[in-house]
Structure 1
Amino acid sequence: MTTTSPARDRVWFITGASRGLGRAFAEAALAAGDRVAAAARDTEALAALAADHPGRVLDLPLDVTDRAAVFAAVDRAADHFGRVDIVVNNAGTLSMGAVEEFTEAEARAQMEVNFFGALWVSQAALGRMRAQGAGHIVQVSSIGAVAGHASTGLYSASKFALEGMSEALAAEAARFGVRVSIVQPGGYWTELYTRMRTAQPMAEYDPMRAELEEQYASAGPTDSEPRLAAEAVLTLVDSDDPPRRLLLGGMVYDLAFDVYRGRMAEWERWEDVSRAAEHPVPPPEWLFPAAG
């Protein structure tokens, strides 16, 4: 890891900035001497932050699922501060339930915020950053994108989608001097838990829920202060060689390695079948029919 002493007074655009991790990111950026465009559905909670940092906070009411509103908000931030240097796609929701329990509306709502919201912000920000020739987009994903777990399938799906999009975005944006990093946090004590949505339970999954509750109870407290995640993100954006992915937390670090070791072992066990499924041949005639 290499870091530099960055020139301060950078401009951040942070979604979901009124509470939880987003609020911690905003406070850390301001403490470092930067300016913040703080976007949230409800900006009332940002009034004190703006009052404490006059001229350095722009509070923006924003529903990230509204693409036109997202583009307008990014433009307003860039016009107000003169540029946007760092974008943190933090806005997100958590929906709990077995995959079978979700209605179509509930499934789409999970994707609208966690995936499409981040997509719209990334598109809007990239236009500005491309013109600047520099910028850094930080996507707040989850350990849930490393592996799906019982009862968090739709949440994991939204974060898997976010990471797939962000991998491609990173390759496309690099030619314009724009960096993309994916942050994969574990648990932090935020209102994500108190605001989460739960699908209508089916009795068939009651035993599963009981087992999960027992596991959570036996594990004890595992979540951390949001301030620690904010410190890690500051280190990330200060680096002259930022990672494509950054795990946040020792527990999730160990879990990620266990998951990938297990996958590699399984791939190796099935290597013969995998290799037998490939034997290059010329394209069939129907794919490229002869002219005339």
Structure 2
Amino acid sequence: MTSAHQPITWFVTGASRGLGAHWVKAALDRGDRVAATSRSISTLDHLVETYGDRALPLQLDVSDAAAVDQAVRTAEERFGGIDVLVNNAGHALMGAVEEVSPEQARAQYDVNFFGPLWTSRAVLPGMRARGNGRIIQVSSYGGLVAYPTMGLYHSSKWALEAMSQALAGEVAGHGIHVTLVEPLTFATDLGTSAPAVKPMPVYDGVRAALMAGMQDSPFVTGDPAATADALLAIADAPNPPLRVLFGSNGIKTLRAEYDRRIDELEKWDHISQLAQGDAVPE
């Protein structure tokens, strides 16, 4: 016989649509409390109508560090603390490196990297004081690989991966767990909110090759609603992983990717040794 679920408090960014909306609903449906944020608070009004004071809608631009601090304080004052932070807000900028404007590049990092950085920093004092907490960073399969014409999006997720892995080691002694969730392919509107780049014809062939390759992708588009049970399982796990893929067939593809990296490093190891110089490692 299992014990009754003890309600916990969530702080979820990007809560009004896509995966975030499913996760907020799942947490509230099981009796938890949720501070749900969105750039447009009107998209969250239905939460209070359905769940009452267990839902706290907050208007938030995650790129604004001061606003993030205030939103976290508001949630902590309302609920007494935050048990689980889910950094879900993000968008996917599509375009070759040369096609992306400086403003677009900065906006991509403001949301996908600096947003999670500011929210993670904001919740840490409270979690550390209580001796427990969960930080769930929504990365991507694109945080582990990098494809042409997606360099800025992928690099923002690579940066999130590195920061989060370092953070996990820094806070483990305080009872705080960090997990990188890496979704594969799901039917969401991730790319629709990103600004459009001005395409350069010189990269049309690269784009066409990428699209052709996607036709042979082993990934099958997943059901966004099904990710809710997976996220709850991660939040409830006594010892959650640092990384977890959401979706099937990712491991096989990643194994091939990492094998290629090691093979290339070994092939060019003579250059590594050349760079070492005369100094012989002990």
1:209, distance to aligned residue in structure 2 (A): 2.0
What CA distance in whole angstroms lies between the structure 1 residues aligned with 2:4 and 2:158? 31
- Aligned residue pairs, count: 279
Query: Which consecutive unaligned segments of at least 5 residues does structure 2 have?
Result: none
Match of 2:221 among 206, 220, 223: 223
Most deviating of 154-163 and 210-219: 210-219
Distance 1:136 1:5, change over 3 A: farther
> Cα deviation per residue 1:66-94 (whole Å; 9 max; x = unaligned)?
00000000010011001100000000011
What CA distance in whole angstroms lies between the structure 1 residues aligned with 2:165 and 2:32? 27
- 1:235 aligned residue: 233
Distance 1:6 1:190, change over 3 A: farther
> Cα deviation per residue 1:44-85 (whole Å; 9 max; x = unaligned)?
121112211112100000000000000000010011001100
Distance 1:21 1:5, change over 3 A: farther
1:273, distance to aligned residue in structure 2 (A): 3.5
- CA contact under 8 A between 1:94 and 1:197: conserved in structure 2? no
- 1:29 aligned residue: 27
Most deviating of 34-43 and 268-277: 268-277
- 1:288 aligned residue: none
Choose between structure 1 and 2 for higher RCO, CA contacts under 8 A separated by at least 6 residues.
Answer: 1
- 2:207 aligned residue: 209
User: 2:191 aligns to what SS in structure 1?
Assistant: coil
> Cα deviation per residue 1:93-122 (whole Å; 9 max; x = unaligned)?
110000111111111110010000110000
- 2:267 aligned residue: 269
- CA contact under 8 A between 2:219 and 2:249: conserved in structure 1? no
Distance 1:197 1:222, change over 3 A: farther
User: 1:84 aligns to what SS in structure 2?
Assistant: coil
Distance 1:6 1:101, change over 3 A: farther
Distance 1:264 1:218, change over 3 A: closer
Whether 1:157 and 2:176 are equivalent positions in the alignment is no
Most deviating of 232-241 and 89-98: 232-241
User: Which residue identity does 1:20 align to in structure 2?
Assistant: G
What CA distance in whole angstroms lies between the structure 1 residues aligned with 2:29 and 2:188? 20
User: Which residue identity does 2:41 align to in structure 1?
Assistant: T
- 1:290 aligned residue: none
1:213, distance to aligned residue in structure 2 (A): 3.1
- 1:120 aligned residue: 118
User: 1:96 aligns to what SS in structure 2?
Assistant: coil
1:202, distance to aligned residue in structure 2 (A): 0.7
1:168, distance to aligned residue in structure 2 (A): 1.0
- 2:74 aligned residue: 76
What CA distance in whole angstroms lies between the structure 2 residues aligned with 1:38 and 1:229? 17
Match of 2:89 among 88, 91, 94: 91
The CA RMSD measured in Å over matched residues stands at 2.1
Q: Which is higher, the Rg of structure 1 or of structure 2?
A: 1
What CA distance in whole angstroms lies between the structure 2 residues aligned with 1:5 and 1:277? 59
